[in-house]
Chain A
Amino acid sequence: RKEVEQDPGPFNVPEGATVAFNCTYSNSASQSFFWYRQDCRKEPKLLMSVYSSGNEDGRFTAQLNRASQYISLLIRDSKLSDSATYLCVVIINQGGKLIFGQGTELSVKP
C-alpha cells in the first residue's frame, strides 16, 4: 500500500462548481500535511498547509481527520484558473522528508 494515496482523476467540472479531493495516508505517525498545486508539468508550489482544526483560504478549505487518516481539499466556485494537478503531501517525522501523493488532476470547463 502506498504511504499517501489520492483520489484518481481527472475531475472535470464546470465553472462555479464545488469540488473535493481526498487523500489518505497510511502512517499514523504522520505529523504535517500540505496541499501543493502543479500546473501542466511545471514545478509544484505550496497551496496551503493543513491544520488539525481545519483551515480556509478564500475559496479553498482544507480538513484533517487523524482518526481516519485522511485529508481533504474543497474548492468552491471553481475558476478556469484552478485547472491543475493537486498534490497531497505528508511529513512523517517533524523535520523529515516529504512524501507526495500521485496527484489529482482537475479540469475546470467553461
Chain B
Amino acid sequence: DADVTQTPRNRITKTGKRIMLECSQTKGHDRMYWYRQDPGLGLRLIYYSFDVKDINKGEISDGYSVSRQAQAKFSLSLESAIPNQTALYFCATSDFPTGGWETQYFGPGTRLLVL
C-alpha cells in the first residue's frame, strides 16, 4: 500500500461548489503539506502543518482552507471553487531529521477541473 494517499484522484466540479481533497499517510510523519502544480509554474505551497496543532499559510492560501484531523490526515477545502483553481494538487509529508535535511514524500496527486 502507498504511504501517502489522496482522494479523490480526479474530480470535476462546477464554479461555486465546495469540495474537499483528502490526504492520509502511514509514514508517521508530523509534517504535512498541500501544493498545487500548474504548467510552467512548478509546485506552489498552499498550506503546511508541522503538527496537529500547527497550521500555516503558504504562498497561495487565498481561496483554500485546511484541517489537520489527526497526525495522519490533512484535508484541503476549496470553499467556493473557481476555474483558476483547476490544477494538479499534491499532498506531501516529511520527517525532519536531526541533521537538517528534509525529504518530502508526495501522494499521487488529485487532478481537479473546475468548470
Q: Chain A residues in contact with chain B, CB under 8 A?
A: 4, 31-32, 34, 36, 41-46, 49, 87, 91, 94-95, 97-103
Contact = CB atoms under 8 A, between A and B. Distances in A.
A102 B101 contact: no
B102 A95 contact: yes
Contacts of B43: 44, 87, 100
A41 B102 contact: no
Given A42-B108, A43-B106, A44-B43, A95 B100 contact: yes
A98 B42 contact: no
Contacts of B45: 97-99
A32 B42 contact: no
A47 B11 CA distance: 29
Contact of A97 (B58, B88, B90): B58
**Interface band, chain B:** 20 to 34
Contact of B102 (A45, A87, A91, A100): A91
A94 B109 contact: no
Given A43-B109, A95-B96, A49 B101 contact: yes
B42 A100 contact: yes
Interface string B90-110: 100000100011111011110
Nearest to B109: A43
Contacts of B107: 43
Contacts of B44: 100
Task: Point out which of B35, B42, B96 has the most chain A C-beta atoms below 10 A from its C-beta.
Answer: B42
A41 B100 contact: no
B41 interface: yes
Contacts of A94: 100
Contacts of A43: 90, 106-109
**Can you list the 6 inter-chain pairs with the closest CB atoms, starting with the nearest?**
A43-B106, A102-B42, A100-B43, A100-B42, A94-B100, A46-B103
Given A43-B106, A98-B104, 9 more contacts: A43-B108, A44-B106, A46-B103, A95-B96, A97-B33, A97-B45, A98-B102, A100-B43, A102-B40
